[in-house]
Amino acid sequence: MVLVFLQAVAVAVIKKSTIALVALYVIINNQSHAAVLAEDRIDVLYHNYDGGGITIDGPSVLVRKSIGNTTSISANYYIDSISSASIDAITQASSYNEKRTQKSISIDYLYDKSIMSYSYTNSTENDFEAVTHSFNISQETFGGLSTISLGYSAGNNHISKSTDNIFSQNADTKDYRLSLSQVFTKNFLMGLTYEVITDEGFLNNPYRQVRYISPSDPNATIFQDEKYPKTRTSNATSINFRYYLPYRAAVYGGYRYFTDTWDIEADTFDIGYVHPYQNNWIFDVSLRFYSQTRASFFSSLFPFVDAQNYLASDKELSTFSSNAISAGATYSIKKEKLSFFEKGTLNFYLDRFSYNYDDFLDTTVTGITPGTEPAYKFSANVIRFYLSLWF
């Protein structure tokens, strides 16, 4: 099973940059509209993640088409090719290569000032399959200045193990979302989101193990399988803003607070700036800062076998912080250069991430007493290049 956290990095930064650009276009237009469906378009993306001994790359194609004035259908095909020689693979198993394929289809229905949406997503790997159904409804009020959205997603994950044909487990996820966006002035808009996620079932990685001190040799360690609780409830609250500047540029930023029943607390801050240049270019730069506390049952080294009811050594459950800097450019293609399309854009983004762990130890360092290894850290780069065409 691949490291879902690392896969999600590329997707998250893609969404963040896209939202910033869309918000800029909306603010620059300075117009209020009734609820409308997304425009017909094709997006072709290539992304690459490289860091921490893991490389993830692949293409994605999304097509959206309206049917009449009230319905819009979209389909997405997404491939991740994963090559891993991460610290977990090196110290507990061996390097691996695998591929994740994700297919999704969604439908939006417009009724007056409301948009109702449904999507179905299927994601498969050689030892993991996830199916997710998602529902959302948004309603504009006060002349289109306020939008309230309610969302619900239900997912079922089937986990197997390539080294054990008998191993078979399941996990269920439910996601509840409430958001409010408000246009305060022609230059300033703000959004508030609250989200609750519940997970139940087999929640750990079937390949990952924890280490403990050998009872016969304090300078040696032994491994045993991780043990996670069967349930987890997460809560997240975020606030975001966009402000249009007099020279057509915009600044944006936000804060997100996360907590869960595993005693993890996390804070995320981000700030960005979008600057149009002439009639064809938009430049975007942003900074992101993240920090979290560890799960109550995490440790890089346990004192003995079955030291506690639950055991975890996943670095994403440890105390750590990260920062990221992102820079990108969007070029608008002139209509006369497009034969069958109304408009198009070429987009390129580069993100640089740095991760610093406080209590996850670098076990690739050998020859020293277990538990005295230095704290682990690494950097990663994410490249995104995509072409968008409207028709």
pLDDT at 147: 96
Q: Write out pLDDT tens, residues 26-65.
A: 333 333 345 788 899 999 999 999 999 999 999 999 999 9
Q: How confident is the model at residue 94 (pLDDT cuts 50, 70, 90)?
A: low
pLDDT at 183: 96
pLDDT at 34: 53
Mean pLDDT of 282-309: 98
Q: Which fold has domain 4-390?
A: Porin (2.40.160)
pLDDT at 2: 39
pLDDT at 85: 81
**Res 24 pLDDT > 70:** no
Give the count of beta carbons closer than 10 Å to the beta carbon of residue 167: 13
pLDDT at 123: 97
**Res 169 pLDDT > 60:** yes
What rounded mean pLDDT belongs to the chain?
Answer: 90
φ and ψ at residue 115, rounded to 5 degrees = -125, 120
Percent of the chain clearing pLDDT 70 (strictly above) = 91
**Res 21 pLDDT > 90:** no
Q: Which CA distances in Å does 173 have to 24, 197, 258, 305?
A: 34, 7, 17, 31
pLDDT at 50: 96
Percent of the chain clearing pLDDT 90 (strictly above) = 80
Domain ranges of the chain: 4-390
pLDDT at 340: 84
pLDDT at 93: 63
Q: Which position has the token pair 């004035």? A: 69
**Res 5 pLDDT > 50:** no
Cα torsion through 171, 172, 173, 174, rounded to 10: -170
Q: How confident is the model at residue 1 (pLDDT cuts 50, 70, 90)?
A: very low
Measure the CA angle with vertex 263, ends 257 and 267; round to 5°. 20
